[in-house]
Amino acid sequence: MGGPGDPPEGVPEGAPGGGEDEYRSVVFDESFVRAARLQESSARERMTDHAPAVRRRPPLRRGFSHQALILVLLIALAFGTAIYMGVRHPYQAPTTAQHPDPLRMTVIPLAPQNPVPGAADTETLFAHSKAADFRIGADGITVPASRRTSHFSDSQVVSALTTAKDYLVESSLDPEVLGGGPVRSVRILLDPQQLDQFDQSFDHPTADGRHAATGWLVRFDPAKAQLADPKIRVQGTLNAVETDSGTLEVTSDHTFVYALRPAGSDGDDKASLFTVRRELQFRFDRDDLRMHQAELVVSYVQAGPLSCSADSASLLQPLLAGQTAKEGGPAAGTDPFATDNAASLCGTLAPGAQPSL
């Protein structure tokens, strides 16, 4: 019987307040029905099989879906690949940070036995010297064809060789550096942990095998000499090897030949040649390669014509055209173009190392 004010037949179907309104939001889809633990027996089952009105359904056997199985396989494959690459990849060997060794340096002045030859024309000087066939400037510092090593890729080996070349260019060919000017272009190429030694070498240069400014770079006393020709002749080699799983080593051996005139010369004074042979050893770890920096380990320099008595720790003080070395030099002759090393702290510049004018 309807309530007060309701039609005798009750609320019409579909009207607000109908009996089904409270169940309208409930939807029993197929998965819900299949998941029910109780199941009502059909009329036929109750009549023929005497089945109970309600029976408990057996638990569903749940397994991995096809998509879940594929996902598990992909995760396992990725995990296995990561383990394989971490163990077997040749370029990801762990490295141990090492404090760079101080640079060990030797600077050997080479004193001439005779007056230094000179000429007004620098091309004549070079043409009559052993540097006649040398290349000019950075073209003389050639980067060799390189191959990857056991623990370093091709690009990493090339990076080490290129950084070594850049250091040689900035420290041996930059006119400002050669003239005693700023050295920042050289400094920024060094491992940061060597900068204290570098700075001390310029603040307080001394010939102690650790703190000679001329062990880091080439620079002339601007009060004595200036470049007579910007075309510096260069010849030498670069070579890279792996010393351990975390270190590349680059060795360089180059001869630089400069044409010089007296400081302040307007071109009327004769020019002469000055030769510097630099043998350097660089060391690179992966941080150095990434930062385009190098650890300079060994610097062996022969330079002349110089007087043995001259202080070569801070600036090179070349003997120019017509000048002779002061007395007291060693008797043995040393040729900076030769490949053998000098044994003394001052050598005699062999006559053949100067232009034959």
The verdict on residue 321 lying in a domain is: yes
Give the tens place of pLDDT for each residue, 183-214: 999 999 999 999 999 999 999 999 999 999 99
Task: State how far the Cα of 228 lies from the Cα of 49, in Å rounded to an integer.
Answer: 119
Give the tens place of pLDDT for each residue, 246-287: 999 999 999 999 999 999 988 789 999 999 999 999 999 999
Mean of all residue pLDDT scores within the chain: 84
pLDDT for res 307: 94
- HEC-encoded secondary structure of the chain: CCCCCCCCCCCCCCCCCCCCHHHCCCCCCHHHHHHCCEEECCHHHHHHCCCCCEEECCCCCCCCCHHHHHHHHHHHHHHHHHHHHHHHCCCCCCCCCCCCCCCEEEEEEEEECCCCCCECCHHHHHHCCCCCCCEEHHHHCCCCCCCCCCCCCHHHHHHHHHHHHHHHHHHHCCHHHHCCCCCHHHHCCECHHHHHHHHHHHHCCECCCCECHHHHCCCECCCCEEECCCCCEEEEEEEEEEEECCEEEEEEEEEEEEEEEECCCCCCCCEEEEEEEEEEEEEECHHHHHHCCEEEEEEEEEEECCCCCCCCCCCECCCCCCCCCCCCCCCCEECCCCCCCCCCCCEEECHHHCCCC
The verdict on residue 322 lying in a domain is: yes
pLDDT for res 335: 65
Contact between residue 202 and residue 213 where contact means Cβ atoms under 8 Å apart: yes
The verdict on residue 11 lying in a domain is: no
Q: Which of 118-122, 200-204, 243-247, 332-336 is the least confident region?
A: 332-336
The verdict on residue 58 lying in a domain is: no
pLDDT band at 7 (very low <50, low <70, confident <90, very high): low
Residue 234 has pLDDT above 80, yes or no: yes
Domains identified in the chain, total number: 1
pLDDT for res 83: 74
Contact between residue 337 and residue 353 where contact means Cβ atoms under 8 Å apart: yes
pLDDT for res 343: 44
pLDDT for res 326: 82
Q: Give 39 or 173, the one with higher predicted confidence.
A: 173
User: For the chain, what percent of residues have pLDDT higher than 70?
Assistant: 73
Q: Give 254 or 348, the one with higher predicted confidence.
A: 254
pLDDT band at 176 (very low <50, low <70, confident <90, very high): very high
The verdict on residue 150 lying in a domain is: yes
The verdict on residue 214 lying in a domain is: yes
Range of the domain at 270: 105-329+342-353
Average pLDDT on 83-106 reads 65
pLDDT for res 95: 46
pLDDT for res 39: 64
The verdict on residue 130 lying in a domain is: yes
Task: State how far the Cα of 301 lies from the Cα of 278, in Å rounded to an integer.
Answer: 5
pLDDT for res 94: 45
Residue 98 has pLDDT above 70, yes or no: no
The verdict on residue 305 lying in a domain is: yes
pLDDT for res 34: 62
pLDDT band at 331 (very low <50, low <70, confident <90, very high): very low
pLDDT for res 342: 44
Give the tens place of pLDDT for each residue, 29-50: 666 556 666 666 676 766 776 6
| pTM for the predicted model, two decimal places | 0.71
